[in-house]
Amino acid sequence: MAVACGTAFGAEKLVFLTDVDGVRDASGAIRPVLESEEARDLIRSGVATGGMQAKLEAALCQLTKPPHNNVVQVHICPGSYTGILETIFNGEPVGTRLIPSHV
Which pLDDT does position 12 carry in this prediction? Answer: 80
For the stretch 67-83, pLDDT in tens is 556 778 899 999 999 99
For range 51-75, the mean pLDDT: 82
For range 75-94, the mean pLDDT: 92
Helix (H) or strand (E) holding 33: strand 33-35
Which three-class secondary structure state does DSSP give residue 30? strand
Q: Which of 101, 79, 92 is nearest to 18 (CA)?
A: 79
For the stretch 25-41, pLDDT in tens is 999 999 999 999 999 99
- Domains, the chain, in order of start with CATH, read 2-99 (3.40.1160.10)
